[in-house]
Homo-oligomer: A and B are copies of this chain.
Amino acid sequence: MPQCTTLLHAKKILTQDPRRSLLEDASLAISKGRIVAIGPRCELSGVWQAADERDLGNVLILPGLINAHTHAAMTLLRGFADDLPLLDWLNQKIFPREAALTPELVELFSLLGFAEMLATGTTSCLDMYLFEKAVFAAAKRAGIRLSAGEVVFAFASAACANWQEALAITEELAESTACESRLEVMVSPHSVYTTNPQILTSCLDLAQKLDLPLHLHLSESPQEVAQCQKMHGQSPIAYCASLGLLTQPVALAHVVVCSEHDLSLLKAARQATILHCPGSNMKLASGAARIPQMQQNGLFTALGTDGAASNNQLNMFLEMNRAALLHKLIANDPETLPAGTVLDMATLGGARALQKPDLGSLEVGKWADLTALDLSAPNLVPCYAPISHLVYAATGHEVVLTMVEGEILYDHGRFTRFDYEALCREIAKVTVTS
């Protein structure tokens, strides 16, 4: 009788395998954090012997969602300033507050962000911020899977005196996380408009030297494009291409503005994943990224929430919903971005952004990163098509269980690795809300 650590039974399992199989009355066996068997319950039950066997009942198990662009610690600034023009918002509200950041604040508020993610079915995220060591520390406390890097600016920040220091931290992080299966480093220049050619080239060099992917904000707004045209005589995408940045695996956040020429450059490079953040782009009135056209051109696309200051949630179910609805409206076509395409972005697309092929679907050999939704929630009854429900009907709060590498991190309202009430008390102490 084969042994496994955990054996889960569920009413439905949505695998996201190449055939997008939906299994009814199904089971999933986990050993050493990876899926060792998945199939009809009648084939697994009584065959696999598990230390921990759970019948989750009337739930839908799916691959853990991947939040491919976020700044988890910005939960500190959730609702701190909204409904303002971008520059007022940044210069008068966000930047002054960020100037007073400390590693302690970043760790606390990152953990809060990870709590929200785990409770809404997200098992991995791609983060970029100041004091990223503290973000990694928070990820270890929560158990969530994290790809991240210290943000690189041309100017001094609360965390770094200069860009060289940010790259040194990135290198240290790569070393210290080398043996951590859940933690990965990405070289993270903030953007074209907050760096310069020397910095971007140095980032690329480091990425190539350490064999790391890159992560940056790119072509987020018409203002950014105009400024880049003025300074460098080309679009931000063409400028990055000319510096060689698109030859390395690279995750590009936003890409709201994208000409036909930009599209051809991204297509030719074959290394980029576009990180679409519809909630943030709508709230800041940046525009609608050309996601359907990018997909038609074979580009890889993933979904992210961005930070809580510009969303204001870190909830991938809502982000899937926004992506599906927004592009139907923009394309004037209700067939645009159907539910399955959006779910692919939030799972397999995210795995591609993170350069982690053993994520994004529930198949033998892949990591057991998954979440389970209660199908008896009023908004999920009846259930004709689970994929439709995930994109159009779920809010994320139907999640009853979330696991990473087979370890349960969220279980019916309770976080297993940390004391959420204690975290809230710590946060109350350091937050001035009035």
Chain A positions within 8 Å of B, measured between CB atoms, are: 75-76, 78-80, 82-86, 89, 112, 115-116, 119-120, 279, 281-285, 287-288, 308, 311-315, 318, 321-322, 324-326, 328-329, 331-336, 338-339, 376, 378-379, 381-385, 388-389, 392-393, 395-397, 420-421, 424, 427-428, 431, 433
Report the separation of the CA atoms of residues A8 and B397 in the bound assembly, to the nearest whole angstrom.
26
Given contacts A115-B378, A285-B329, A392-B313, contact A384 B334 (CB under 8 A): no
B-side contacts of A332, CB under 8 Å: 285, 287
Q: Which listed residue, B115, B281, B321, B335, touches A329 by the CB 8 Å rule? A: B281
Chain B residues in 8 Å Cβ range of A321: 318
Partner of A283, one of B75, B85, B334, B384: B334
CB of A65 to closest CB in B, whole Å: 15
Contacts of A313 in B (CB 8 A): 379, 392-393, 395
Q: A389 — which chain B residues lie within 8 A by C-beta?
A: 78-79, 312
Q: Nearest B residue to A119 by beta-carbon distance? A: B378
**Are the C-beta atoms of A431 and B382 separated by less than 8 Å?**
yes
| Complex Cα spacing A328 to B288, Å | 11
Assess whether B314 is in contact with A379, with CB atoms less than 8 Å apart: yes
Asked if B396 and A427 sit within 8 Å, CB to CB, the answer is: no
Q: Known contacts A82-B392, A392-B311: does B116 contact A379 (CB below 8 Å)?
A: yes
Q: Are A315 and B379 in contact, with the CB atoms below 8 A?
A: yes
B83 touches A338 (CB 8 A): yes
Contact check, A331 vs B379: say whether CB atoms are below 8 A apart: no
| Number of copies of this protein chain within its complex | 2
Q: Give which listed residue, B312, B381, B395, contacts A396 with CB less than 8 A.
A: B395
Asked whether B334 lies within 8 Å of A392 as measured between CB atoms, the reply is no
Closest to A24 in B: B434
Most buried by B among A315, A325, A339: A325
25 CB < 8 A contacts A-B: A78-B379, A78-B382, A78-B393, A79-B382, A79-B383, A79-B384, A79-B385, A79-B392, A85-B335, A116-B378, A120-B379, A282-B328, A283-B325, A284-B334, A285-B332, A285-B333, A285-B334, A285-B336, A312-B392, A312-B393, A313-B395, A322-B325, A376-B421, A382-B427, A382-B433
Most buried by B among A85, A311, A335, A382: A382
- Of A80, A116, A322, A379, most B-chain CB atoms within 10 Å: A379
Which chain B residues border A329 with CB–CB below 8 Å?
A: 281-282, 285, 287-288, 326
Are A79 and B393 closer than 8 Å at their CB atoms?
A: yes
* Contact across chains for A424 and B318 when beta carbons are under 8 A apart: no
Q: A285-B334, A318-B318 are in contact. List 16 more A-B contacts (CB 8 A).
A: A78-B382, A79-B384, A79-B385, A82-B392, A84-B335, A85-B334, A281-B329, A283-B324, A285-B333, A313-B393, A315-B379, A322-B322, A381-B427, A382-B431, A382-B433, A395-B397
